[in-house]
Amino acid sequence: MTSSSRRRFLEQTALAGIAAVLPGPAAAAAKGMAQTVLGPLDPSRLGVTLAHEHIADGPFYLDRWPKDWGGRAEFTARAVDRLKVVRAAGIGTIVDLTTYDVWRDIGFLEEVSRRSGLTMIAATGQRFFPPVTKVAMPARTIEGLTAFFRKEIEQGIDGTAIKAGVIKIGIIGKVPTALEEIGLRAGARAAAATGAPIRIHTHAVDRAGESLAPILESEGIDPARVSFDHSDDSGDMDYFLGLVKRGYSLGMDHVHRGTPPEFKPAFERRAECIKLLCDAGFANKIFLSQDSEFGGALLPEDKKEWRDKIDPPDGLLFTSRRLIPYLEHIGVSDADIHTMTVENPRRFFALV
């Protein structure tokens, strides 16, 4: 996608958003159920769950390198084949945190879920706020964004009946900008109205979770319904313990980024923090995932340089193949691994 066609795409999506917030019949989300792209599911059937990934932007890569593909059908077939491998390796559910403003293609997500047998949960919310990009819901008020998020959870996404089951909000720096704060408050209000949980792109290096918690709490949110994702970028146990004692969860989903020697914290330190949190009794506050850009991973070998920047080694199976064996090696119990990969998602993604 060229930058102008990308802008056009985003503008059209934003216009669809205006239409989307017009009043329509309210439909209560199913309490106690996980809301997947194939409909409500008993959360005990989610299985091993990757809580922060990106699948739904796959067709963006098709548009960017169209010559490498026969077309959408071939691209989708390749995606399904790859996801079947992930399913066969024991992953039950992938939570897709691709919001409308970062090329979410809900039809693609539904199709690859149905054909691969992997359960998928789609996200509403917003990743980027101005001035980072010009694109945001035109209303740009707490009320306007709350209505848009609720619409995607209660009625459906982009004119379909496919409903979001989680709210994703992006906060880029240590403290939110004025517009990011509007998004954060809207996320909290949509969570209260629908029972959906919130996952936040958090700048952990600057302890951003500590800046966001008071805003969330001023909206009356239950911290148990919030996960600060990319937390392992911090490596600071004092920061981690402060947030989990306050009731928040931590997404440890960048662990692969510590693998190259030039990146800190190192893989070993990120894993050690997970063990220390388990030892302190907080396995019930941790999610393991890898923030993978799945569409990029499907690119041909000659695009590898770019692909390598965005996708973890082993792709969607880094956690299974590399992280969990290492955690076991340093003494994390099977029970705690089960808690982090199965029990926490079962509880968190059930609508309350």
- Under DSSP, the state recorded for 343 is I
Among 108, 100, 102, 94, smallest CA distance to 124 is for: 100
Beta carbon nearer to Zn ion, 55 or 162: 55
Question: Which regions of the chain does DSSP assign to beta strands (E)?
Answer: 34-36, 39-41, 49-53, 93-96, 119-121, 123-126, 166-170, 198-201, 226-229, 249-252, 286-288
Strands 34-36 and 39-41: antiparallel
The pair of structure tokens assigned to 177 is: 């900008």
The verdict on whether 54 is a catalytic residue reads yes
Binding segment toward Zn ion, per CB under 5 A, in 30-38, 150-158, 181-189, 283-291: 283-291
The verdict on whether 291 is a catalytic residue reads yes
Binding segment toward Zn ion, per CB under 5 A, in 287-295, 319-327, 333-341, 342-350: 287-295
Beta carbon nearer to Zn ion, 54 or 207: 54
Binding segment toward Zn ion, per CB under 5 A, in 66-74, 112-120, 144-152, 288-296: 288-296
Residue 317 CB, shortest distance to Zn ion, in Å, is 17
The pair of structure tokens assigned to 164 is: 């979001």
Q: What is the largest CA-CA distance in the chain?
A: 54
Count of helix runs (H) and strand runs (E) in the chain: 15, 11
Identified catalytic residue from 101, 232, 253, 291: 291
# residues near Zn ion by CB under 5 A: 1
Whether the bond into 300 is cis, omega within 30 of 0: no
- Considering only residues 84 through 143, tell me which ones interact with Zn ion, judged by CB under 5 A: none
Cβ within 8 Å of residue 3, ≥6 positions away: none
Binding segment toward Zn ion, per CB under 5 A, in 131-139, 156-164, 171-179, 285-293: 285-293
Beta carbon nearer to Zn ion, 200 or 278: 200
Identified catalytic residue from 151, 163, 201, 285: 201
How far apart, in whole angstroms, are the C-alpha atoms of residue 146 and residue 113? Answer: 27
Identified catalytic residue from 233, 253, 311, 336: 233
The verdict on whether 206 is a catalytic residue reads no
Residue 54 CB, shortest distance to Zn ion, in Å, is 6
Identified catalytic residue from 151, 254, 256, 285: 254
Beta carbon nearer to Zn ion, 291 or 311: 291
The pair of structure tokens assigned to 341 is: 């990969």
Strands 39-41 and 49-53: unpaired
Interface residue with Zn ion, options 57, 291, 311, 336 (CB under 5 A): 291
Question: Which regions of 38-92 does DSSP assign to beta strands (E)?
Answer: 39-41, 49-53
Residue 259 CB, shortest distance to Zn ion, in Å, is 18
The verdict on whether 229 is a catalytic residue reads no
Helix (H, G, I), strand (E, B) or coil at 63: helix
Residue 40 CB, shortest distance to Zn ion, in Å, is 25
The verdict on whether 254 is a catalytic residue reads yes
Beta carbon nearer to Zn ion, 98 or 116: 98
Identified catalytic residue from 105, 151, 163, 168: 168
Residue type, 306: W
Residue 187 CB, shortest distance to Zn ion, in Å, is 15
Beta carbon nearer to Zn ion, 95 or 274: 95
The pair of structure tokens assigned to 66 is: 């169209």
Identified catalytic residue from 151, 163, 203, 230: 230
How far apart, in whole angstroms, are the C-alpha atoms of residue 25 and residue 92? Answer: 33
The verdict on whether 329 is a catalytic residue reads no
Q: Which residues form the catalytic set?
A: 52, 54, 168, 201, 230, 233, 254, 291
Using CB under 5 A, list all residues that contact Zn ion: 291
